[in-house]
Structure 1
Amino acid sequence: MTIRAATNEDITNMIELGHKVYVESRFSHLGYDIDKIKHGLEAFILLHANGSHLALLAENADGRIIGGFLGAIEEYFFTTDKSANSILIWVDPDYRGSSTAIKLIDIFKQWAVKKGAKEINILVSSGVKIGSTDRFFRRLGFVQSGGNYSMTLG
């Protein structure tokens, strides 16, 4: 497996894998706007090049994208100390249980240290396998610091 920076040439494949993950998530009742995603990924990849954001992809031995990670570094509202926050982390369901997510998170942690972050936060809101996701992050040394709550309207 290879972990590398995402490029604009990867966007179509990222959108396809993203849809595969989206359909199993709690967001599947919402629209999946490919044009909006494309423009958002283009902007994110540009921010990665500028150093304030991280856009990673994991590829299998055949060069197929099997996961990705989007993150950002920012200051908290109340301090100039920085935190590194996940925006999205996704792994092809066929590769869950492999080292894909661990490797993506490890590179995120290394990047956060280089950027001067005091902590990292993995934000989970997909609603997919909540219990096993919790156990996974705890095994990696994370502690729960809150929760995500949602309510469908209409």
Structure 2
Amino acid sequence: MSSAKKPRIMLRQATIADLDTLVAFCRDAHEESYLSGIPFSEEKAFKLMTNCVSDEHPNLISILAEANEKPVGYLCAAAGEYYVGTETLLTTVHVIHVTQSIRRSLLGGKVAIRLVRGIKQWSDQIGAEHLLFHITSDIRPAQSDRFMRKMGFRTLGGNYAK
């Protein structure tokens, strides 16, 4: 019988103390993405993540996933009104990222599920009526689509690039 400890996955809203980790995750996600040819700006990533953890921007959130107290993924989202609508709040997820080292494992799948459930809970708590994911990284798009459908989401269209 194995005595290996089962990884414990914890989600929490990121704080100012997590900025270096968040910026590193931003870099990792960028370097793997379709847009990796665009120079990465540490300064812009730091500013965005600072806003996500600031009390001054309650419509922004960054959720950090940890397995056995080690950061293994994050999600960054914003809440606001539809661009030509009023009185309806929606949450838009800009990034969901699980570290490459665990992404294709059972643990990676569990982390992704927890991140999706975590943003759904936050979105519900703030009264958002819609939860939208913008998946434009081009990292395993067929698997991402299958995962999102299993999580209860549907396709509203597509992302196209040239």
The normalised TM-score by structure 2 is 0.85
In the alignment, structure 1 segments of 5+ residues that lack a partner are: none
Match of 1:68 in 2: 74
Aligned residues: percent identity?
Answer: 26
Match of 1:35 in 2: 43
Match of 1:4 in 2: 12
* 2:115 is aligned with 1:104: yes
The CA distance in 2 between the partners of 1:60 and 1:43, in whole Å, is 25
The CA distance in 1 between the partners of 2:89 and 2:24, in whole Å, is 33
The CA distance in 2 between the partners of 1:146 and 1:138, in whole Å, is 13
Match of 2:101 in 1: 94
Q: Which amino acid aligns with 2:160?
A: Y
Following superposition, the deviation at residue 78 of structure 1 comes to 2.2
Q: Which amino acid aligns with 1:10?
A: D
How many residues are aligned here?
Answer: 149
The CA distance in 1 between the partners of 2:126 and 2:61, in whole Å, is 11
CA contact (8 A) 1:21 1:93 kept: no
RMSD: 1.5
Alignment map for 1:4-153 (pairs within 5 Å): 4-46=12-54, 50-61=57-68, 63-76=69-82, 77-96=84-103, 97-151=108-162
Q: Give structure 1 regions of 4+ aligned residues with deviation exceeding 3 angstroms.
A: none
Following superposition, the deviation at residue 22 of structure 1 comes to 2.1
CA contact (8 A) 2:51 2:60 kept: no
Following superposition, the deviation at residue 50 of structure 1 comes to 4.7
CA contact (8 A) 1:25 1:128 kept: yes
